[in-house]
Structure 1
Amino acid sequence: MLSSSRATGRGRRTVVAALGTALVAGTLLATGPGAQAAPWHHRPAPEHSRHHQPVMRELTPQVRAQLDTAIRSVLRTTKTPGVTVGLWAKGNHDYVRAFGTADKATHAPMSPGYNMRIGSVTKTFTVTALLRLVDHKQVRLDDPISRYVPGVPNGDHITLRHLAEMRSGLFNYLLDPDFGKDYLTDPRRTFSMSEMLAYSFKHPVAFPAGSKFDYSNTNTVLLAMVVQKVTGQPFDRYLARHVLQPAQLHHTFMPHGTEFPAPHARGYTDQTADGSIGDATDRNPLGGPSGAMISNLHDLRSWASVLADGDLLSRATQAERMKLKPTGMPGLSYGLGVFGNHGWIGHNGSLPGYQTVVVRLPRAGATLVVHTTSDIAFRGKAPATMFAKAVTSIVTPKNVYDIPVAPPARD
């Protein structure tokens, strides 16, 4: 969650993280009062030893035991109810484990077979849908958004590329106080894409298009509207037919409201009106094309490869997607709906009750998927980030996944 730091106050921070604006700050809660900047500890291996270290350690029984211990330690430290971790590598053994509970009331064990809400990982699907249209010559990345959606502030200068790479300068509707009030009043409410944009467009554009990186869910909503405009189809229908089906993802979809097919784990959050811990399972995940999708471990394993390898796109379009640019945060870069994190390629997601990391390390042929049943930050750090860092510190010590805690907002 590379987020804007414009939100202050408990109610606004609640909603800011509500939609999985998760990208590069671990959780948007980290941008609120009390969050501290974390020192950067990852150091490259000494020059003399680099050529003697494998990219990824073999998943021997000893390494598996280390992973079990590390994951259980993070589970205890963060008090996360449940987590699933999937790690796969070419020519290596798989590591797929579940820890903790899927339901604090029944104490049902966590399972790697559950459906999960994936938050901002949704953005990777939305941008892929747009890039399919680029390949079909139906849109161009350097088209202005005003060509497709009227009324966008600075719309004649903001291109589809700016939107996909989070450099539009458009206000993130999640940070609007009226949106926060409306959402907290009814967490099961469904907002249309036009309603979401209305919260954003009340605010001025923050900077000239292309000049800065600023993570905003507004961008992805607009891209979905472009897909609808050009194809004449509802976005979820086009997504299913032209992205999910070709990728053979049979357990991944865009919900219309609060539906959440069984089996699934329950999710817990402190993003509530009074700050107490509550059950967020049946909330509306909001955001549609920015953060509402549901998937499972098996599908996301496949999707990580599709995303990093460009299986659904032409070589030229995939090259455009993978033009990763600096974000201003150490070790983190962003392309078209995808990030680079210390060699790992993919995205993360966070929304009330759930966090996800879906990344691939191409040089090792390795894929990592993490699901948690809590978004409650530990000392400003996202639980999913802590699990992913623990795993990669052991198996890929030269490529440690991490997202630093953002500094506190100074409004």
Structure 2
Amino acid sequence: MRALLSDPSRSFTPRELLAHGFRHPNTFAPGERFQYSNTNLVLLGLVVEKVGGQRLADFVHQRVLRPARLRHTLFPEGPEFPEPRARLHRPDAERRDRGRHGLEPSWAWAAGAMISDLHDLRRWARIVATGTLISPQARRERLTMLPTGFPGTSYGLGIFESGGWIGHNGSIPGYQSVTVHLPSWNATLVLLLNTDVTHDGQEPSSLLARAITEVVTPDNVYDRPAPPR
């Protein structure tokens, strides 16, 4: 984080990202418990490149974006950030949002460097929740959920279930998102925020999604907090 925040325009390679993680011992043995890890997704991106025989950005474009007809979604090659775009709202936003590009997203790579808009994410939410682009066997494996330690939330293969909502959130410095689908209601919720300033230690995207679902789907509340003891 020090390297990222000291130079927001710096570009990282996947190997450089992995080197940061590999400097430290494993927190626990695989399968022992749950902890979200960007390192795992960077490793997955390298596996996709090796098996697919092409760059991750090209593979994602051909195998995901094109068949899903996501025309306003891209895996950036560098610091490009199409206009118009939402400007950052955080204490150091002026320093980090200088010029046309703003934050260089390579530090997230396969873990969250992609750029999209509300319309594409609304379409993507249902596709990813129902597994339209993958085989029935892969759908079953992906939705084999394990407890995360957070009440009401479980995690499968790159996808979570929270209060019945299936999908994923995203967070990079200055921006947050929630893209989820509720199959029982055939409902979709997409939030895009241009701030990451926490409130009482909680991400604003989770707080907003929770507040919305408490009203519109009270039986299916996103990220419902644990009851007081």
Paired-residue identity, %: 48
How many residues were matched structurally? 221
What displacement does 1:279 show? 5.5
Match of 2:211 in 1: 390
Distance in 1 (CA, whole Å) between partners of 2:16 and 2:224 is 31
1:376: which partner in 2?
197
* Alpha-carbon offset, residue 298 of structure 1: 0.6
Name the counterpart of 2:117.
296
1:283 paired with 2:103, answer yes
* Cα distance between partner residues in 2 of 1:308 and 1:360: 6
1:250-297 CA distances to partner (integer Å, 9 max, x unpaired)? 011111222100111101234xxxxx5546440112211111110000
* Alpha-carbon distance in structure 2 between the residues aligned to 1:229 and 1:324: 27
Separation (CA, whole Å) in 1 of partners of 2:179 and 2:25: 33
Cα deviations by residue, 1:147-177 (Å, 9 ceiling, x for unpaired): xxxxxxxxxxxxxxxxxxxxxxxxxxxxxxx
Does structure 1 retain, via aligned residues, the 8 Å contact 2:76–2:114?
yes
Which residue in the other structure is 2:88 paired with?
Answer: 267
The residue aligned with 2:29 is 208
User: Is the Cα contact below 8 Å between 1:266 and 1:279 reproduced in 2?
Assistant: no
Cα separation, 2, equivalents of 1:359 and 1:352: 21
Does the 8 A contact of 2:176 with 2:205 survive in 1?
yes
Residue 353 of structure 1 is matched in structure 2 by 174
Give 1:73-152 correspondences, 5 Å limit: none
Aligned in 2, Cα 1:184/1:230: closer, same or farther, shift over 3 Å? same
Aligned to 2:134: 313
SS at match of 2:68: coil
Unaligned runs of 5+ in 2: none
In the TM superposition, what whole-angstrom CA distance separates every residue of 1:351-407 from its partner, at most 9, and x where no partner exists? 1211110000000000000111111011212111122112111110011112659xx
Would the aligned equivalents of 2:162 and 2:222 in 1 still touch at CA under 8 Å?
Answer: yes
Looking at both structures, which has the greater relative contact order when contacts are Cα pairs under 8 Å and sequence separation is at least 6? 1
Q: Is the 8 A contact 1:266 1:280 kept in 2?
A: no
Instruction: Classify the secondary structure of the residue corresponding to 1:295.
Output: coil
Alignment CA distance shift 1:253-1:277 (3 Å): closer
**Equivalent of residue 244 in structure 1, options 50, 65, 72:** 65
Give, as a single letter, the amino acid of the residue that structure 2 aligns with 1:262: E
- Please give the alpha-carbon distance, in whole angstroms, between the structure 2 residues aligned to 1:206 and 1:378: 27
Q: Is the 8 A contact 1:268 1:279 kept in 2?
A: no
Q: Calculate the TM-score normalised by the size of structure 1.
A: 0.52
- Matched residue type, 1:334: Y
Q: How has the CA–CA distance of structure 1 residues 235 and 345 changed in structure 2, closer, same or farther, with 3 Å as cutoff? A: same
SS across alignment from 1:358: strand
Q: Mark the CA change 1:403 to 1:277 in structure 2 (over 3 Å): closer, same or farther.
A: farther
2:74 to 253, 258, 267: 253
2: distance between equivalents of 1:268 and 1:199?
A: 28
* Paired AA for residue 345 in structure 1: I
**Which secondary structure state, in structure 2, belongs to the residue aligned with residue 207 of structure 1?**
coil
Q: Do the aligned partners of 1:269 and 1:280 also contact (CA within 8 Å) in 2?
A: no
Match of 1:189 in 2: 10
Gapped regions of structure 1 (runs ≥ 5): 1-14, 16-179, 271-275, 406-411
Distance 1:280 1:340, change over 3 A: farther
- Name the counterpart of 2:222: 401
1:199 CA drift (Å):
1.0
Residue 326 of structure 1: how far off its partner (Å):
0.4
1:234 to 2:55 alignment: yes
- CA-based RMSD of the aligned residues comes to 1.5
